């Protein structure tokens, strides 16, 4: 099977395989897609924003309350927008009855505020941290990272978008949040017979895969499109599922950004593959689709997000992204020697990195602040052939130098914090940490992370 399929028990005598992926139900298009609101700044406080992890309930199914977790609400969280270069004080509060952390995925912040497994906030406790985004305009996200319990907390609803806004530059991209600049958090979920998210019962050590698609927490969503040119910031917020997105009519769209910011050059494409935690920004030009049925579909052709195209007569923005003058990777960068080797291995609870499981008391690697090194990451196949592992590093946005010796394709010529590694594949990464501290790197299949497929690096 192609490595994009993955799954857990196939029900046949408990045999382990990587093949069984439940199909997603198509969206019936009955509810307008929820757009997470922008986080409201605090007035008259000594902090700018407050983010509270809390319990709540959500009516996914009419007349049924499902227990969920959310930030500042019942499910998911508001979108936090940081201005590049500005210091933002954020109060983080744990109102759950279990420990949690607040991790800013993709943000280059010092280790002590990164919110990895070291950053536990106990129930009822708060902390004020300073977030400073000294990095390009990008679509990042935030989620919990408490060791052994990340998958369950994310599954119940703890995730939010984190945007970096670059004041004074105009990429020409649509940027009216919620109007022509839309976040899309794709997640798959399983509900039990009482329409509850019963994580314990459904948990699978190779990653919990649902059969219901949820976008921004909405089941059966549709999106009414009024502007001809729309920008979508797509996050694969699933615990484990990989997606390949297309348009239902097979049409092209433009990918403009990867995890950490704008691509070197925009890429015309008809498909977009994202492993868990990867992001991309795409632009769809709807001007030719007025009155047509068009949807975002997955690799099986299942409609995940139908659009209702009812264009107003605002003129189409002209998008003229500047192509970069220099090549994405300099010759010198391409030829740097490998200094760190990472071997991803295993499945179920037997997952390891370089033969070891995570130990919070062990530092696995060290790297000097601001010094660029080449990491070689290999996905060692197992006896079942292996599976994709999305490899993520905290505290850095890296560049992909090569995949099996070949230069990255155009859609990966941009900053990344997570890289999809196929079984038997070797990717080389150019990694620099701008801040000091202890950071983790791990597989972003959350159940693999919880099972110890994670290591620690000290940046000194
Ligand atoms: Cu999305 Cu270790 O993080
Ligand atoms: Cu992260
Ligand atoms: Cu993995």
Q: What is the pLDDT of residue 320?
A: 63
Confidence at residue 27, expressed as pLDDT on a 0 to 100 scale = 97
pLDDT band at 318 (very low <50, low <70, confident <90, very high): low
The last residue of one of the domains, among 120, 140, 165, is 165
Ligand nearest to the CA of 388: 3
Q: Are 101 and 186 found together in one domain?
A: no
Tokens of 164: 């970096």
Mean pLDDT on 150-161: 97
Closest listed ligand to the CA of 117: 1
| CA of 349, nearest ligand number | 3
- With a pLDDT cut of 90, the percent of the chain lying above it is 82
| Ligand 2 centre distance from Cα of residue 394 (Å) | 5
Interval between CA 443 and ligand 3 midpoint (Å)? 5
Q: In 288-398, which ranges are E strands?
A: 294-297, 303-309, 338-345, 352-353, 365-367, 373-380, 389-393
pLDDT tens digits for 432-451? 999 999 999 999 999 999 99
Same-domain pairing of 44 and 155: yes
- Domain range spanning residue 201? 181-309
Residue 150 has pLDDT above 70, yes or no: yes
Residue 303 and residue 338 in one domain: no
Question: Is 53 in the same domain as 159?
Answer: yes
CA–CA dist 37, 19 (Å, integer) = 38
| Least confident span in 145-159, 199-213, 234-248 | 199-213
Residues in the chain: 460
- The sign of the CA dihedral 432, 437, 441, 445 is negative
Kindly report the average pLDDT of the chain as a whole number: 92
Is residue 183 predicted with pLDDT exceeding 60?
A: yes
Mean pLDDT of 145-167: 95
Q: Which of 118, 137, 165 is the last residue of a domain?
A: 165
Ligand 1 binding pocket, CB closer than 6 Å? 103, 105, 143, 145, 277, 392, 394, 440, 442, 444
Question: Cα angle vertex 272, ends 267, 277, to 5°?
Answer: 115
Q: Residue 201: in which H helix or E strand, if any?
A: helix 199-202
Are residues 225 and 302 both part of a single domain?
A: yes
User: Nearest Cα to 98, choosing from 161, 162, 147?
Assistant: 147
Instruction: Provide mean pLDDT across the span 103-119.
Output: 98
Return the pLDDT at 96: 98
Q: In the listed set 98, 131, 165, which residue is the last one of a domain according to the structure?
A: 165
Do 234 and 204 have their domain in common?
yes
**Pair 295, 187 in one domain:** yes
CA of 118 to the centre of ligand 3 (A): 21
ipTM over 0.90: yes
Q: Which atom of ligand 1 is nearest to the CA of 418?
A: 1
C-alpha of residue 335 to centroid of ligand 2, in Å: 28
Residue 325 pLDDT level (bands cut at 50, 70, 90) = low
Q: What is the pLDDT of residue 74?
A: 98
Residue 152: its H or E element: helix 150-155
The structural domain count of the chain equals 3
Q: Could you tell me the CATH number of the domain that includes residue 355?
A: 2.60.40.420
Is 152 among the domain residues? yes
In a domain, 193, yes or no: yes
Q: Rounded distance, CA 436 to CA 19, Å?
A: 40
| Confidence check: pLDDT of 321 > 90 | no
- Whether the pLDDT of residue 233 is over 60: the answer is yes
Quote the ligand 3 centre to 373 CA distance (angstroms). Answer: 23
The region of weakest confidence among 109-113, 201-205, 376-380 is 201-205
Residues 201 and 232 in one domain: yes
Q: Do both 192 and 138 map to the same domain?
A: no
Strands 365-367 and 454-459: parallel
CA-nearest residue, atom 1 of ligand 1:
105
Helix (H) / strand (E) containing 150: helix 150-155
Chain-centre distance for alpha carbon 208: 16
Say yes or no to pLDDT of 167 above 90.
Answer: no
Same domain, 348 and 297: no
Say which residue the tokens 């890296």 belong to: 398
Check whether 313 has a pLDDT greater than 90.
no
* 16 pLDDT more than 60: no
Report the atom number in ligand 1 closest to the C-alpha of 394: 2
Higher per-residue confidence, 304 vs 384: 304
| Residue 22, C-beta contacts closer than 8 angstroms, at least 6 positions apart | 7, 209, 210, 211
H or E stretch including 274?
strand 272-274
229 and 270 housed in the same domain: yes
pTM: 0.94
pLDDT given for residue 351 in this prediction: 92
Asked whether 168 and 147 are in contact (CB, 8 A), the reply is no
Question: Cβ neighbours of residue 460 under 8 Å, at least 6 residues apart?
Answer: 366, 367, 368, 369, 436
Q: Is residue 16 part of a domain?
A: no
Domain shared by 192 and 262, yes or no: yes
Which residue in this structure is represented by tokens 């948990």? 203
At 274 the pLDDT is 98
CA distances from 117 to 132, 145, 363 (A): 21, 6, 13
Instruction: Determine, yes or no, domain membership for 128.
Output: yes
- Name the pLDDT band for 15 (thresholds 50, 70, 90): very low
Return the minimum-mean-pLDDT range out of 200-204, 271-275, 320-324.
320-324
How far does residue 116's CA lie from ligand 3's centre (Å)? 18
326 located within any domain:
no
Atom of ligand 1 nearest to the CA of 277: 1
Measured between alpha carbons, how far is 380 from 426 in angstroms, rounded to an integer?
9
Count CA atoms closer than 13 A to 322's CA, side-chain side: 6
Q: Give yes or no for residue 8 having a pLDDT over 80.
A: no
- 20: in domain: no
Q: Indicate if the pLDDT at residue 316 is higher than 70.
A: no
- Atom 3 of ligand 1, residue of closest alpha carbon: 105
The span from the CA of 145 to the CA of 114, in Å, is 10
Say how far apart CA 312 and CA 252 lie, in whole Å.
22
Q: How far is the CA of 47 from the centre of ligand 3 (A)?
A: 37
Instruction: Evaluate whether residue 367 is within a structural domain.
Output: yes
Tell me whether residue 3 is in a domain.
no
Mean pLDDT, range 36-54, rounded to an integer? 96
382-438 pLDDT, tens digit each? 888 889 999 999 999 999 999 999 999 999 999 999 999 999 999 999 999 999 999
- Judged against a pLDDT cut of 50, whether residue 2 lies above it is answered with no
Scanning 335-416, the segments in alpha helix (DSSP H) are: none
Instruction: Give, as residue ranges, everything with CB less than 5 Å from ion ligand 3.
Output: 389, 443, 445, 448
HSE (side-chain half, CA atoms, 13 Å) at 300: 12
Beta strands in 3-119 (DSSP E): 31-32, 49-61, 64-71, 80-83, 87-94, 103-105
């Amino acid at each position: 099977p192609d490595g994009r399929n993955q799954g857990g028990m196939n029900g046949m005598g408990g045999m382990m395989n990587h093949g069984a992926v439940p199909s997603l139900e198509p969206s019936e298009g009955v509810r307008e897609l929820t757009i997470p609101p922008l986080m409201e700044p605090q007035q008259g406080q000594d902090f700018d924003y407050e983010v509270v992890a809390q319990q709540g309930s959500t009516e996914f199914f009419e007349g049924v309350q499902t227990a969920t977790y959310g930030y500042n609400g019942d499910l998911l969280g508001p979108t936090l927008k940081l201005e590049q270069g500005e210091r933002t004080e954020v109060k983080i509060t744990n109102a759950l009855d279990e420990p949690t952390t607040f991790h800013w995925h993709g943000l280059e912040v010092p280790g002590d505020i990164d919110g990895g497994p070291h950053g536990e906030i106990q129930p009822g406790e708060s902390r004020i941290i300073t977030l400073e985004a000294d990095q390009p305009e990008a679509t990042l996200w935030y989620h919990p990272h408490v060791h052994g319990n990340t998958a369950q907390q994310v599954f119940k609803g703890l995730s939010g978008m984190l945007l970096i806004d670059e004041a004074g530059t105009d990429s020409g991209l649509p940027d009216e949040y919620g109007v022509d600049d839309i976040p899309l958090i794709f997640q798959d979920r399983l509900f039990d017979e009482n329409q509850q998210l019963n994580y314990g019962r459904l948990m699978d050590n190779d990653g919990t895969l649902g059969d219901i698609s949820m976008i921004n927490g909405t089941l059966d969503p549709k999106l009414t499109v009024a502007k001809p040119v729309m920008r979508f910031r797509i996050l694969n917020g699933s615990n484990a599922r990989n997606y390949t997105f297309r348009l239902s009519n097979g049409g092209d769209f433009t990918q403009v950004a990867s995890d950490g910011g704008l691509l070197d050059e925009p890429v015309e494409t008809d498909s977009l593959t994202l492993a868990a935690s990867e992001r991309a920004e795409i632009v769809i030009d709807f001007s030719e689709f007025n009155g047509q049925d068009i949807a975002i579909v997955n690799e099986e052709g299942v409609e995940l997000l139908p659009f209702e195209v009812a264009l107003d007569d605002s003129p189409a923005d002209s998008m003229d992204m500047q192509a970069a003058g220099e090549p994405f990777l300099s010759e010198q960068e391409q030829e740097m020697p490998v200094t760190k080797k990472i071997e991803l291995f295993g499945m179920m609870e037997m997952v390891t990195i370089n033969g070891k499981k995570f130990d919070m008391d062990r530092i696995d690697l060290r790297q000097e602040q601001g010094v660029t090194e080449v990491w070689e990451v290999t996905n060692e196949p197992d006896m079942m052939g292996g599976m994709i592992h999305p490899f993520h590093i905290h505290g850095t946005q890296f560049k992909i130098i090569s995949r099996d010796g070949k230069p990255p394709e155009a859609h990966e010529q941009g900053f990344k914090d997570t890289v999809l590694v196929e079984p038997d594949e070797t990717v080389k990464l150019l990694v620099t940490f701008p801040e000091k501290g202890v950071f983790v790197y791990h597989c972003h299949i959350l159940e693999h992370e919880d099972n110890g497929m994670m290591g620690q690096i000290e940046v000194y």
